[in-house]
Chains A and B, each alone.
Chain A
Amino acid sequence: MNRHWHNHAPSPTDSWVRRLPATWKLGVALTLILVTVLAPPAGWLPWFVAMFLFLLVIIAASGISLWFLLQRLLLLLPFVLGVVVVNALAPTGRANWLAIALKSSLCLLTVMLTANTTPFSELVRALQTLRVPALLITTITLMHRYLFVLRDEAERMRRARASRTFTPGRRFQWQALSSVIGQLFVRASERAERIYDAMCARGWKSR
């Protein structure tokens, strides 16, 4: 259970970055992201270089391997590329596709670095301190909690399917996948109902 790729908390190495208050880290990360996103197209290069160097220092201090972060960045790259391609093809935006690619990558790196140096429960508390609406916090908490459960459920279903699959074929695989996704959706909504019941049983005020 402990070695899955999505498991960021607790991070493997203890460092002073990890021990910093979560509110600071979240504040700095949000500021960096905001400034990066809002940076004007002209004269952005020095800022990006400065930010990249800053992130490198933090990465070195946190003891997280660069390879680990790059792997995850690679995983998210299709989304970045999608945005870049759309922009490169736009009649007006041809010049800043590189800026957009850099902006997105830097923001993603910042988010990953924050997530991997801060335990999830501390992040949630930081969000509370920063007065993020309670409904949003509850949603984030529940999502994080049940991602694991859903992932396990999907894995069990996949395995059960695989054990009864005797004719390997691409068409059949896609069919099976679509039915797994459908089933997972139904199961998730049923579980949501049970979770809600369990919350009500302990006094959650729904009305």
Chain B
Amino acid sequence: MNALEISHLHYRYHDGTEALRGVSFRVLPGECIALLGPNGSGKSTLLLHLNGLLPENPSGDGAVKIFGTPLAAANLAAIRRQVGLVFQDPDDQLFCPTVAEDVAFGPQQLGLGAPAEIAARVKKSLAQVGLAGFEARATHHLSHGEKRRACLAGVLACEPKLLVLDEPTSDLDPRGRREFKAMLRTLPATKIIATHDLELAVELCARTIILDHGEIIADGRTVELLADEKLMLAHGLERPHILHHLHPH
């Protein structure tokens, strides 16, 4: 079964902007996919569809299927249990006073067990992202890198099968970026990562999808797509330097 199946997905915002124009692709379980594209290409809009935050009233027309379940109002809860969405601005996601409360929010909402069980989940997911012992810390006093990790822990606590990340390494310092990437690599879930960090795409994702003007421009092996200088420049991207080290000429 496909982890994700999108067929002819269209979306138009209220102001008339056509954000997605017939997007179709499939993701197999266990894949790690980089979603690239210039600003305003429709990446974030696409990601919001994966968790049922868009469209406003999902009709269940089968344009988006997650592990075989079509996106419809009736199965939103089931879909949100399977898809973990990490937002771009950690301050949008961390809304509880302490880290432990925030990480526990998802499992509590989804009714995943008794308080003791949830506390165990919180501990486990904090350890997974390298924030063991941060339970009682105030969320607004964390560093940016720590906030990112706390956000990810909050999503991992729901044990999603599909992990969707919106620009996870933007405004992290080089060390934060390196550590975050190393941690992402250890997570077994199927991953879709929207990013401008081309090194991340090369290092983590075997497959890349390039989106521009709400359409899929290319879908294929990361090292091949990113080495195509003409394609990259045409869509606001560039050939990353890291490729020189992977394929010495």
Where the two chains meet, the residues of A that have a C-beta atom closer than 8 Å to any C-beta of B are 1-2, 9, 120-121, 124, 141-142, 144-146, 148-149, 191, 194-195, 197-205
Q: Are B154 and A202 in contact (CB under 8 A)?
A: yes
> Which residues of the other chain, B, contact A1 by a CB distance below 8 angstroms?
141
Q: Report if B150 contacts A (CB, 8 A).
A: no
- Alpha-carbon distance between A121 and B102 when the two chains are bound, in angstroms: 12
- Alpha-carbon distance between A148 and B110 when the two chains are bound, in angstroms: 29
Minimum Cβ distance to chain B for residue A155 (Å): 14
> Which residues of the other chain, B, contact A120 by a CB distance below 8 angstroms?
97, 138
Which of A2, A142, A195 counts the most B-chain CB atoms under 10 A from its CB? A195
Given A120-B97, A121-B97, A121-B101, are A202 and B92 neighbors across the interface (CB < 8 Å)?
no
- Alpha-carbon distance between A201 and B87 when the two chains are bound, in angstroms: 10
Q: Are A204 and B97 in contact (CB under 8 A)?
A: no
Q: Report if B217 contacts A (CB, 8 A).
A: no
Q: Are A202 and B155 in contact (CB under 8 A)?
A: yes
Q: Are A202 and B139 in contact (CB under 8 A)?
A: no
Number of interface residues of B (CB under 8 A): 32
Minimum Cβ distance to chain B for residue A140 (Å): 10
> Which residues of the other chain, B, contact A146 by a CB distance below 8 angstroms?
95
Q: Are A202 and B97 in contact (CB under 8 A)?
A: no
Minimum Cβ distance to chain B for residue A154 (Å): 14
> Which residues of the other chain, A, contact B141 by a CB distance below 8 angstroms?
1-2
Interface residues in B2-53 (C-beta closer than 8 Å to A)? 48, 51, 53
Partner of B140, one of A148, A200, A204, A205: A148
Partner of B158, one of A141, A144, A203: A203
Q: Report if B105 contacts A (CB, 8 A).
A: yes
- Alpha-carbon distance between A122 and B203 when the two chains are bound, in angstroms: 43
Query: Known contacts A9-B138, A202-B105, A203-B158; can you find 20 more A-B pairs with CB under 8 A?
Result: A121-B97, A121-B138, A141-B95, A145-B95, A145-B97, A148-B140, A149-B91, A194-B89, A195-B92, A195-B93, A199-B95, A199-B105, A200-B80, A201-B51, A201-B83, A201-B85, A201-B87, A202-B155, A205-B77, A205-B109
> Which residues of the other chain, B, contact A199 by a CB distance below 8 angstroms?
95, 105
- What are 26 inter-chain pairs, A to B, with CB distance below 8 A? A1-B141, A2-B141, A9-B138, A121-B98, A124-B97, A145-B139, A191-B92, A194-B89, A195-B92, A195-B93, A197-B48, A198-B95, A199-B95, A199-B105, A200-B53, A201-B80, A201-B87, A202-B106, A202-B109, A202-B110, A202-B155, A203-B77, A203-B80, A203-B106, A204-B109, A205-B77
Q: Report if B65 contacts A (CB, 8 A).
A: no
Partner of B87, one of A142, A198, A205: A198
Q: Are A198 and B92 in contact (CB under 8 A)?
A: yes
Partner of B81, one of A9, A194, A203: A203
